Structure 1
Amino acid sequence: MSVSEEEVLKKMYNLILNPSTREWERYLLTTTKNALGQQKNFKEQLAKLEVELRPLALRNNLTPDVADFYQEITGNTAVSEQLVKEQHVVADPAYQERAIFAGGCFWCMVEPFESQPGIISVLSGYTGGVLEHPSYDQVSSGATGHVEAVEIIFDTRRVSYQELIDLYWQMTDPTDAFGQFQDRGAQYRPVIFVADEEQKKIAERRKQAAIDSNRYSKPIVTEIRAAGPFWPAENYHQEFYKKQPKRYKAIKRERQQFLMYQHLKGKLREGLHRKK
C-alpha cells in the first residue's frame, strides 16, 4: 500500500460526505476513521476495513468511488491505471484511428463500442471545454464547457468510421440538446468530435441522412465539432460496466426502453411519409 495515513483519512472523510456512498459503506468508513482518530493501529484498522469491503469488491458491487478507494488501499490502483493507459495507444497509425463521441453519461457509451469487432480501446473522459485536466466534479458543475465522452481507437481494416457513426446514431437521442435520457445538463449533450476532414464529411453525411429520413419529429441538434484535447476520466469511471454490472444494467435498461420507443415512432413516421 503506497497511500499515507493522512491521505487515507482525507479520502475516507470525502467518501463519508459523498452522497453516492451507500449507508453500509459509510458506516464502515466512519468506524475506521474514528478508530484511526483515536490513534489505534493504522495497518490493523485498514486491514480490518479491507476484509469488510472485500466481499462486495470481489463481486464488483461497491459504489465507484469506494471501489477506487479499495483499489488504492489494496495496492491495485497503479496497476489498473497503467493497464488502461497501455491499452489506449495508437500502435499502428497506418491502420488505426481515433474517434470521439459524446452522448450522455460515458458509463453507458463504452460497452456498445467495446463489444464491436475491430475496437482496440475505449476510454472515458472529458473534452470540448476550456479547463485543462478537469475533474469529474468540475465537469459535472457544467461550468467548464466539457462534455462526458468516449475516445475510441479502432482498426480501420475491421471496422470503418462510418460504422461507428451509425452505431452512435442508434444509441443516442439526436433531438435532445440539454442532455441524454436521464442525464441532464450541457455536459451530457450529443456531440461528434471529428479528427480530420474525412471524418467530418462522413459525420455530416450521416447527420443529413438522419434529417432526410423523417424519423424524428424534432430538429436534429447533435453537434459536429473539431476534436480537441481529450482528458481521461478518473480511474473508477473506466470500464464502469465491468466494475458495476448491476448498476450499469439498470441504467442501460432505461436507455434501451427510450430508444426502442423512439425507433418505433421513427419507423411509423417514415411509413406515413412514404404514403404521402
Structure 2
Amino acid sequence: MKRANITLDEIYNLLLNTATREWERTQLLKCKSEIENGTNNEQAFSELEYRLRPLAVRNNLTPDVAEFYTKLSGKNQKIESFDLTKHFEKDAPGVERAIFAGGCFWCMVEPFEARPGIIAVISGYTGGQVDNPTYEIVSRGTSGHVEAVEIIYDSKLISYETLVGIYWQLIDPTDDGGQINDRGANYKPIIFVNNDEKKEVANKSRKELEQSRKYSKPIIVPIRNAEKFWPAENYHQDFYKKNRVRYWRIENSRRQYLAYLKVKGWIKRKFSRE
C-alpha cells in the first residue's frame, strides 16, 4: 500500500479536535500508545486503518478523521461529502423551510424525504447558545441545542400542514425528556416556525391532536420561533442510506413503541366512554 507520510502530530491534532467522536478518539489513542511503546509506525498505522475501515466505507467518519483516513489508506479519492448547497441557497419563489426536532435526527429524514415536493432534508442542530456546535457539544446537553431536521420543500406540491401531520406520526408528543430510547434535553421534541402563518397552522394542528385524545398523557410539544440552524457533520447526513441495517433496527424499535402508545390511548378512550 502506498501510504502518504503521516506523523504523530496529525494524531495529536485529531485527539484535540472537539469534533472527533469518542470511538474515533479511542482508536487514535490506541495507535499513539502502540507507537510510543515501540511498535513500528507502519504496523501501527495499518492496524488503525483496519479499525477505521468499516466506518470509512459507509461514509460514517467525522470529516477530519475521514480526511485523515484517506491519507492513511493510501487512496487518492476523497470520501464523498453531503451536498449542503440547498441549505445556503436563497429560496426560489414557492420554496419554503420547516424545522422539526423529534429526538435523534437519524430517524427524522427518510419519512419526509420520500414525499413528493421535498427538495432536501438536512440533519442539524438548533435552539442553542453556541455557534458552530458539534455533535460532541450538543450530546452533552448543556449548549441548549436540540437535534433537528431542516426540510426544504416546494409549497406548491406539499403543504406545511401536511409536514406537521407527518411530524406527529414520528414522535411521542407526550415526552419532554427526550424521545423513545434517546434521553436528554438535546432530544426534546419542538416545532420551530419562521412566520406567523406556520405558527397558526402548528398551533391548530397541536390543538386538534389534544382534542383527539389519542394519547393517555398531555401533549407537551412547544412551538417556538425558528433560530439559526446548523447542519450536522457529514456522517450524520442521510444516515438511513449509509447504514441501512442499524437504521432499520432503530426505526423498527421506534415504530413499535409509537404503536404501543396509540393502543394505550385507544384503550383509555374506550374505557372513558364506557
- Partner Cα separation in structure 2 for residue 238 and residue 33 of structure 1: 32
- Partner Cα separation in structure 1 for residue 5 and residue 196 of structure 2: 46
Count of residues paired in the alignment: 264
Q: How much has 1:170 moved relative to structure 2?
A: 0.4
Partner of 1:144: 143
- Partner Cα separation in structure 2 for residue 269 and residue 221 of structure 1: 19
Q: How much has 1:207 moved relative to structure 2?
A: 0.1
Partner of 2:73: none
SS in 2 for 1:84: coil
| Kept in 1: contact 2:62–2:233 (CA 8 A) | no
Aligned-partner residue type, residue 73 of structure 1: Y
Q: Deviations over 1:30-69 (max 9, x none)?
A: 3477348869667x975775466546643x3x8x447872
- Partner Cα separation in structure 1 for residue 132 and residue 11 of structure 2: 23
- Partner Cα separation in structure 2 for residue 67 and residue 246 of structure 1: 22
Partner of 2:34: 34
Structure 1: 5+ residue stretches without partners: none
TM-score, normalised with respect to structure 1? 0.80
SS in 2 for 1:88: helix
Pair 1:97–1:249, CA change in 2 (3 A): same
| Kept in 2: contact 1:88–1:122 (CA 8 A) | no
SS in 2 for 1:100: strand
Aligned-partner residue type, residue 191 of structure 2: I
Q: How much has 1:197 moved relative to structure 2?
A: 0.7
Partner of 1:246: 245
- Partner Cα separation in structure 2 for residue 37 and residue 249 of structure 1: 41
The answer to whether 1:73 aligns with 2:69 is yes
Aligned-partner residue type, residue 188 of structure 2: R
Partner of 1:176: 175
Partner of 2:163: 164
Partner of 2:10: 7
Q: How much has 1:268 moved relative to structure 2?
A: 3.7
Pair 1:52–1:219, CA change in 2 (3 A): closer
| Kept in 1: contact 2:21–2:136 (CA 8 A) | no
Pair 1:161–1:244, CA change in 2 (3 A): same
Q: How much has 1:84 moved relative to structure 2?
A: 2.1
SS in 2 for 1:76: coil
The answer to whether 1:155 aligns with 2:154 is yes
- Partner Cα separation in structure 2 for residue 90 and residue 153 of structure 1: 11
Pair 1:148–1:227, CA change in 2 (3 A): same
Q: How much has 1:136 moved relative to structure 2?
A: 1.6
Pair 1:184–1:40, CA change in 2 (3 A): same
Pair 1:55–1:258, CA change in 2 (3 A): closer
Q: How much has 1:70 moved relative to structure 2?
A: 3.6
Partner of 1:188: 187
Q: How much has 1:88 moved relative to structure 2?
A: 3.1
- Partner Cα separation in structure 1 for residue 244 and residue 102 of structure 2: 20
Pair 1:76–1:38, CA change in 2 (3 A): farther
SS in 1 for 2:201: helix
Pair 1:90–1:164, CA change in 2 (3 A): farther
- Partner Cα separation in structure 1 for residue 32 and residue 90 of structure 2: 45
Identity %, equivalent residues:
44
Pair 1:165–1:50, CA change in 2 (3 A): same
Q: How much has 1:265 moved relative to structure 2?
A: 2.5
Pair 1:52–1:221, CA change in 2 (3 A): closer
TM-score, normalised with respect to structure 2? 0.81
Of 204-213 and 104-113, the range deviating more from structure 2: 104-113
Structure 2: 5+ residue stretches without partners: 71-76
Partner of 2:257: 258
